[in-house]
């Protein structure tokens, strides 16, 4: 059996070949059936001529509805009228399983496509996105490993918040309250003492109660933690990670990117250094665009989008005000009003694709922050131990992989960046 891609590459013209896949579309006229067959690598037209195949094969080809699974044998012929420029003239057409009438046709609503997501994942569009997504995951692992990072895991059930209590999912754990993890970070900071440079790729959970085009309740989070590194070094790792992902995707999936409307040249330009600006400079830039943000308020989606209209590469905003940042972000020794925290914002969609910081080592400051957020510092006592025994400067960040895929694939909604999205309103299928 060959892949359809191999046939479309023209290496088997004139040969007898076998393929297997699914009927993408089909039409017949008289003694001829034209069936376009799909496998994971592409689409090819198969012509079934009543005179050239056994009777059963012709009857099967004629009856097989869209999404029937088939095995085909025949000769590859170059034919410029066929999609892709090649067709297979069938000698045998075996229907492995006749499909019922497929519920998805053109012009179905977004909601309907989400209801039948288990079938929609086979579509050309989802297949292209999922190939790019696979490439992004691979590139993420490759980058960290090439830089000497060890991959480690944190538990998904946790007793306390990493990113603030309001977006935590509570779970009944044999009668005790625990939460689904928002981030591997707190455990990573402990693990880091043995391994120094670590990363993970894992799901994180956020009880996001607003409908937006960039929030999932379960999303894939690539996170890194590095001993002996400050904010600027962590930013550099983030820049290299993202440019490496762009480079890999362009190498591995150029056709899929084009089919999704993404010009690979856009991604070739995503090279370090990215533009850096302080939070206060971002406010000035926004003011230029007529958008007023009061100092001390976090940037909202609309403001991030306004800001990114200025840039065609990711931008890194640093030195956010202390009051909007998680308890563990290190206060800037040169300005106690701000933290050594940074966000990477994507061009075009303007969304935050990376959030990170240098970590606070002062237990008292962290206690104060937690109290201010309404958390109980005593449930963080194990975490404070990491500062009691050989604390070192350290930094880290988290990258939302689904948001990277959304940006690269030019998707309007993050739910189309993942096969089975979990959002405020959707847990089925």
Give the strand pairing for 86-97 and 42-49. parallel
What is the DSSP code (8-state) at residue 22?
E
Query: H or E element: which one contains 240?
Result: helix 231-252
Instruction: With CA atoms as reference, report the closest residue to 409 among 214, 132, 141, 139.
Output: 132
Query: Considering the complex, what minimum distance in angstroms separates the CB of residue 378 from ligand 4AD?
Result: 21
Dihedrals φ, ψ of 159, to 5°?
-85, -15
Distance in angstroms (rounded) separating the CA atoms of residues 290 and 204: 36
**What does 19 bind: ligand 4AD, Mg ion, none (CB cut-off 5 to 8 Å by kind)?**
none
Q: What residues pair up with 224 in beta bridges, in sequence order?
A: 199, 397
Exposed, middle or buried: residue 18 (CB in 10 Å: 0-12, 13-18, 19+)? middle
List binders of ligand 4AD among 368-407 (CB under 6 A). 396-400, 402-403
84 binds Mg ion (CB under 5 A): no
Query: Considering the complex, what minimum distance in angstroms separates the CB of residue 20 from ligand 4AD?
Result: 37
19/340 with CB nearer ligand 4AD? 340
Taking CB under 6 A as the binding criterion, the range among 22-30, 106-114, 277-285, 347-355 that sits at the site for ligand 4AD is 347-355
Query: Considering the complex, what minimum distance in angstroms separates the CB of residue 188 from ligand 4AD?
Result: 7
> Closest residue (Cβ) to Mg ion?
355
The tokens for 26 are 């089909």
**Number of residues engaging ligand 4AD in binding (CB under 6 A):** 24
347 binds Mg ion (CB under 5 A): no
**Number of residues engaging Mg ion in binding (CB under 5 A):** 1
347 binds ligand 4AD (CB under 6 A): no
24/221 with CB nearer ligand 4AD? 221
149/344 with CB nearer Mg ion? 344
149/320 with CB nearer Mg ion? 320
Write the interaction track for ligand 4AD spanning residues 284-313; mark x where CB under 6 A is met and - where it is not: ------------------------------
**What does 403 bind: Mg ion, ligand 4AD, none (CB cut-off 5 to 8 Å by kind)?**
ligand 4AD
Distance in angstroms (rounded) separating the CA atoms of residues 366 and 335: 17
Dihedrals φ, ψ of 97, to 5°?
-150, 120
Taking CB under 6 A as the binding criterion, the range among 214-222, 265-273, 384-392, 416-424 that sits at the site for ligand 4AD is 214-222
Distance in angstroms (rounded) separating the CA atoms of residues 221 and 200: 8
Q: Decide: 24 and 87 in contact? Cβ < 8 Å.
A: no
The tokens for 419 are 């096969």
Q: Which of 68, 154, 185, 318 binds ligand 4AD (CB under 6 A)?
A: 185
Tabulate helix, strand, coil % of the chain (nearest 5): 35, 30, 35
Q: Helix H segments across 36-75? A: 55-63
Exposed, middle or buried: residue 122 (CB in 10 Å: 0-12, 13-18, 19+)? middle
Q: Which of 74, 355, 356, 377 binds Mg ion (CB under 5 A)?
A: 355
Please state, in angstroms and as integers, the Cα–Cα distance from residue 419 to each residue in 113, 122, 177, 183, following that order.
Answer: 12, 10, 30, 21
122/387 with CB nearer ligand 4AD? 387
Taking CB under 6 A as the binding criterion, the range among 9-17, 152-160, 212-220, 365-373 that sits at the site for ligand 4AD is 212-220
Binding stretches for Mg ion (CB under 5 A): 355
Which residues of this protein are in contact with ligand 4AD, per CB under 6 A? 162-163, 182-183, 185, 206, 208, 215-216, 219, 221, 223, 352-356, 396-400, 402-403
């Amino acid at each position: 059996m060959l892949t359809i891609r191999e046939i479309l590459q023209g290496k088997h013209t004139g040969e007898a070949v076998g393929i297997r896949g699914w009927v993408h579309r089909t039409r017949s006229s008289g003694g001829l059936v034209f069936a376009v067959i799909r496998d994971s690598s592409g689409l090819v037209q198969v012509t079934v001529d009543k005179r050239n195949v056994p009777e059963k094969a012709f009857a099967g080809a004629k009856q097989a509805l869209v999404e029937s699974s088939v095995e085909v044998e025949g000769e590859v012929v170059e034919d410029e009228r066929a999609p892709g420029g090649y067709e297979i003239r069938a000698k045998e057409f075996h229907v492995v399983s006749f499909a019922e009438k497929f519920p998805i046709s053109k012009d179905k609503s977004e909601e309907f496509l989400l209801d039948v997501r288990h079938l929609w994942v086979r579509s050309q569009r989802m297949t292209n996105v999922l190939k790019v997504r696979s490439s992004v995951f691979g590139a993420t692992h490759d980058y960290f490993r090439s830089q000497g990072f060890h991959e480690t895991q944190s538990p998904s059930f946790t007793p306390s918040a990493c990113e603030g209590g309001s977006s935590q999912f509570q779970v009944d754990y044999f009668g005790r309250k625990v939460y689904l993890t928002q981030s591997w970070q707190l455990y990573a900071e402990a693990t880091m003492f043995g391994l120094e440079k670590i990363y993970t790729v894992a799901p994180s959970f956020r009880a996001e109660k607003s409908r937006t085009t960039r929030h999932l309740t379960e999303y894939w989070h690539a996170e890194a933690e590095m001993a002996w590194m400050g904010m600027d070094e962590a930013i550099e790792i983030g820049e290299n990670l993202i440019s490496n992902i762009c480079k890999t995707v362009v190498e591995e999936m150029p056709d899929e990117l084009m089919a999704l409307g993404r010009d690979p040249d856009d991604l070739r330009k995503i090279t370090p250094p990215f533009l850096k600006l302080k939070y206060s400079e971002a406010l000035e830039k926004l003011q230029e665009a007529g958008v007023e943000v009061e100092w001390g308020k976090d940037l909202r989606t609309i403001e991030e989008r306004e800001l990114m209209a200025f840039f065609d590469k990711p931008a890194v905003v640093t030195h956010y005000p202390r009051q909007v940042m998680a308890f563990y972000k290190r206060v800037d020794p040169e300005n106690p009003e701000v933290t050594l925290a940074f966000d990477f914002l994507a061009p075009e969609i303007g969304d935050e694709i990376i959030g990170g910081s240098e970590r606070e080592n002062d237990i008292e400051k962290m206690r104060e922050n937690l109290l201010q957020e309404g958390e109980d510092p005593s449930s963080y006592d194990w975490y404070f131990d990491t500062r009691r025994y050989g604390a070192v400067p350290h930094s880290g960040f988290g990258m939302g992989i689904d948001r990277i895929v959304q940006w690269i694939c030019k998707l309007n909604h993050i739910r189309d960046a993942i096969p089975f999205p979990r959002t405020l309103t959707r847990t089925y299928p």
